[in-house]
Structure 1
Amino acid sequence: MQRLQAFKYELMPNGEEVRKMRQFAGMARFVFNRGLALQKARYEAGDKKLGYAALCKELTGWRNSTETPWLKDAPIHPLQQSLKDLERAYANFFAKRADFPRFKKKGQRDSFRYPDPKQIRLDQGNRRIFLPKLGWLRFRKSRELLGTVKNVTVSQSGGRWFVSIQTEREVDVPMPKGGAVGIDMGVARFATLSDGSDLAPFNSFKRHQTALRKAQQSLSRKTKFSQNWKKAKARIQKIQARIANARRDYLHKASATISQNHALVVLEDLQVGNMSRSARGSVEQPGQNVRAKSGLNRSILDQGWYGFRRQLDYKLAWSGAHLVVVPPHNTSRTCPECGHVAAANRRSQACFACVECGFEANADHVGAINVLRAGHARLACEVSGAARPPAAGTHRSDSAAADGCR
């Protein structure tokens, strides 16, 4: 089968190369924002939105205009890719997969993409890559790049520049190893598996929270846009990048271990946005336990559940295994022995005790077992062509509780 895979490396540019990359990223951002402003103006005037080809014609006019002749300094393909991103954002909005496109801000996710592999040259032996109007750029080769280059994306994060090289190669479909497993996601335990094992939470943000708070307090005392303010802001960006990198590394290791040892993984379809919604309320109807809920929301977002699910999805496909997603309703309230469903079954965040048959176990382990059974039921319905079994009730993720019943 054909495998598309991206390899990301840190660039080692000099001052001139950094200046050019900042210019190209700024031009790509300018083209995206100008295209979005044009689409909004046409919508307010009652005209139809422009397609990608029409936007590219507008881009040609902008490059030849006396107002923006500096757009010619950037390669044309990355600017066209910004318009393609805008077209994709509109398509996602009308398909109700995303919100309406927003204007990009300087310093936030600065990047530009080269889509034509014919213009890209890769020299792995000397650890360098050639990009149009940038020349040869050196990078830190942390691992061997496999496959044929398809496109290249240059991005900036935490004051450092990176190159992401997407490749394509033919691989044999491997035979999956291991059996089936259900996973219950939580906060006290990051993941509890139906076989009884569990993964402890990493809590990357919590580990760096004190350093981040002090850096933010230092920034608040500086005069805005002064040199000391810029240094303090760069310090905050480095801490935030360290938090994100540590979390991403933990998720990659956890998802790789699970995907390599199981042929079927069943996961809860958690709505993280709903679970981490603020409890502040309004002036007329203020919320309750706002401080406790904000702490829980911080812990939920610190886990990276969506990133874990996304990584499991493609890594299981690479290993020939499958991922099944089921609704989380009542997974921690259903007795795995007698099937009785009741809110009273869950005595606490960690303790499960069935009021019908008296079965006792850890609530997370019970949830993982029920998740696995729901996955088997869904697969059986899909094979037989029957309707999927309905689910009722609401499940909330664990907040903070010790292991076992007490």
Structure 2
Amino acid sequence: MRRLQASKFELMPTGEQARKMRQFGGACRFVYNKALALQQERYAAGQKKLGYSGLCKLLTGWRNSAQTPWLADAPVHSSQQALKDLERAYVNFFAKRAAFPRFKRKGSSDSFRFPDPKGIKLEQGNSRLFLPKLGYVRYRNSRPVLGEVRNVTVSQSGGKWFASIQTQREVDMPLPTATSAIGVDVGIARFATLSDGSNIAPLNSFKKHEKRLARYQRRMARKKNFSRNWKKAKARLQKIHTDVANARRDFLHKASATISKNHALVCIEDLQVLNMSKSARGTIEAPGKNVRAKAGLNKAILDQGWGEFRRQLEYKMAWSGGMLLPVPAHNTSRTCPCCAHVAKENRKTQARFACVSCGYENHADVVGAINILERGQRLLACADSSPEVRASWQEPAEATT
């Protein structure tokens, strides 16, 4: 079985290498924004959208242009990958998986990719990585890299540079070590409630640092833009945001690893987080209702990281030989697990469930998790002979650790 895996390491570049990496990231950002502006102009003129191959032909002209000669200093493959990222953004938008592509801002998630493994050399014994036009770059060798290197993505976060090394290797077909099945109901008061009655408390990483972030944002707002003190305040603010993201990612990895190691089948709600966290502000003609309350709810939903939790569960279950099964979320917390009576009145409060038909009582999140597991088992029983279901046990998703 082919396994794709990416490992992220902190780079320790020299001053010249850091300067070149900022230059390469800026070139890729310029190519991405220029191509996006061109696509928008063609759409406004009623012309057809250019594909990846058409944009690559234009890229050659941009690199040879007298107005942008510095584009030729950046690796051509990295600039082409920026165009691929734009094409993927359009595909995700038309598939309703993401919002419309937006222009990239300087200093925000600068990154570039080296897709050709022939130009990459990884020396784990010397803790260094050879990259085109950069030479050997030192990195913090915190774990072994297994498999054949396929590509490397260099990114900047919190003033530091990182390299995400994607590898490919053949592994034996995994067999599940556990035999149990579990239903998982995600929420805000409880991050995850399992059908066996246990639960995982939320981390609320952003909420813990929200007041501190607001204080540093006010300090930054009082500084003159782009002055030295402004840059220092911005660096402190970015450091807090990085700490919040790292804490959330670590929490999600630990929670998903615990669940995937102890269960062969995990059933979760098929939640559309993008729709759930949409703004309720509305328009001038049709203003929204309860905008402040909805904004607070959206902030709490996004602070949990439900989408990333599901992504991690998906590939970790496949790696352990198990299966992740999304089920419809409609009325999971309003259906009685004993008599199957569905009513809005069954859920007395946010936490209390009491069936108006048979009198069954339990925590509402536990009831939701039990119903999620039951729906998953019914779906699996109905489609057990389907080749698509059998294939889903054997095709793991691409992972980033």
TM-score, normalised by the number of residues in structure 1: 0.90
Whether 2:85 is the aligned partner of 1:85: answer: yes
Instruction: Tell me the distance in 2 between the aligned counterparts of 1:130 and 1:353.
Output: 63
Q: What is the CA-CA distance between 1:284 and the residue it aligns to?
A: 6.0
Whether 2:172 is the aligned partner of 1:168: answer: no
Corresponding residue for 1:134? 134
Alignment of 1:360-371 (within 5 A): 360-371=361-372
Instruction: Tell me the distance in 1 between the aligned counterparts of 2:117 and 2:108.
Output: 27
Corresponding residue for 1:110? 110
Corresponding residue for 1:213? 214
Instruction: Tell me the distance in 1 between the aligned counterparts of 2:96 and 2:331.
Output: 28
Give a deviation string over 1:332-381, Cα, whole Å, max 9, x none: 11111111111111111111111111111111111100000011111122
Q: What is the CA-CA distance between 1:44 and the residue it aligns to?
A: 3.6
Whether 2:236 is the aligned partner of 1:231: answer: no
Rate the CA distance shift 1:211–1:12 in 2: closer, same or farther, 3 A.
same
Corresponding residue for 1:324? 325
Instruction: Tell me the distance in 2 between the aligned counterparts of 1:293 and 1:96.
Output: 22
Q: What is the CA-CA distance between 1:325 and the residue it aligns to?
A: 0.7
Corresponding residue for 1:40? 40
Q: What is the CA-CA distance between 1:114 and the residue it aligns to?
A: 0.3
The one-letter amino acid of 1:313's match is E
Rate the CA distance shift 1:137–1:366 in 2: closer, same or farther, 3 A.
same
Corresponding residue for 1:12? 12
Alignment of 1:48-197 (within 5 A): 48-176=48-176, 177-197=178-198
SS in 2 for 1:242: helix
Give a deviation string over 1:159-202, Cα, whole Å, max 9, x none: 11100000001111221123110011111111010111110101
SS in 2 for 1:71: helix
Instruction: Tell me the distance in 1 between the aligned counterparts of 2:92 and 2:164.
Output: 24
Q: What is the CA-CA distance between 1:89 and the residue it aligns to?
A: 2.6
Corresponding residue for 1:252? 253
Q: What is the CA-CA distance between 1:65 and the residue it aligns to?
A: 1.7
Instruction: Tell me the distance in 2 between the aligned counterparts of 1:185 and 1:7.
Output: 27
Whether 2:260 is the aligned partner of 1:267: answer: no
SS in 1 for 2:175: coil
SS in 2 for 1:86: helix
Instruction: Tell me the distance in 1 between the aligned counterparts of 2:281 and 2:41.
Output: 36
Instruction: Tell me the distance in 2 between the aligned counterparts of 1:297 and 1:145.
Output: 38
Give a deviation string over 1:306-349, Cα, whole Å, max 9, x none: 11001101111111111111111111111111111111111111
Q: What is the CA-CA distance between 1:286 and the residue it aligns to?
A: 5.2
Q: Which moved more, 1:221-230 or 1:181-190?
A: 221-230
Instruction: Tell me the distance in 1 between the aligned counterparts of 2:47 and 2:291.
Output: 46
Corresponding residue for 2:394? none
Rate the CA distance shift 1:243–1:91 in 2: closer, same or farther, 3 A.
same
Corresponding residue for 1:353? 354
The one-letter amino acid of 2:265's match is L
Give a deviation string over 1:72-99, Cα, whole Å, max 9, x none: 2111111111122222233333444433
Q: Is the 8 A contact 1:182 1:266 kept in 2?
A: yes
Rate the CA distance shift 1:47–1:283 in 2: closer, same or farther, 3 A.
closer
Corresponding residue for 1:334? 335
Whether 2:241 is the aligned partner of 1:240: answer: yes
SS in 2 for 1:333: coil
SS in 2 for 1:383: coil
What do you get for the CA RMSD once the two structures are aligned? 1.8
Q: What is the CA-CA distance between 1:14 and the residue it aligns to?
A: 2.1
Instruction: Tell me the distance in 2 between the aligned counterparts of 1:309 and 1:45.
Output: 40
The one-letter amino acid of 1:274's match is N
Instruction: Tell me the distance in 2 between the aligned counterparts of 1:170 and 1:350.
Output: 46
Corresponding residue for 2:199? 198
Instruction: Tell me the distance in 2 between the aligned counterparts of 1:237 and 1:180.
Output: 41
Which structure is richer in relative contact order (CA contacts within 8 A, separation 6 or more)? 2
Q: Is the 8 A contact 1:173 1:319 kept in 2?
A: no
Q: Which moved more, 1:374-383 or 1:258-267?
A: 374-383
Gaps of 5+ in 1: 386-406
Instruction: Tell me the distance in 1 between the aligned counterparts of 2:360 and 2:43.
Output: 61
Q: What is the CA-CA distance between 1:296 and the residue it aligns to?
A: 2.5
Give a deviation string over 1:193-252, Cα, whole Å, max 9, x none: 011111010110111112211111111111122111111111111101110110000000
Instruction: Tell me the distance in 2 between the aligned counterparts of 1:359 and 1:39.
Output: 58
Instruction: Tell me the distance in 2 between the aligned counterparts of 1:43 and 1:296.
Output: 36
SS in 2 for 1:317: helix
Gaps of 5+ in 2: 387-401
Instruction: Tell me the distance in 1 between the aligned counterparts of 2:147 and 2:181.
Output: 31
Instruction: Tell me the distance in 1 between the aligned counterparts of 2:374 and 2:115.
Output: 44
Q: What is the CA-CA distance between 1:39 and the residue it aligns to?
A: 2.8
Aligned pairs, how many?
Answer: 385
User: What fraction of aligned residue pairs are identical, expressed as a percent?
Assistant: 68
Instruction: Tell me the distance in 2 between the aligned counterparts of 1:97 and 1:283.
Output: 27
Q: What is the CA-CA distance between 1:17 and the residue it aligns to?
A: 1.3
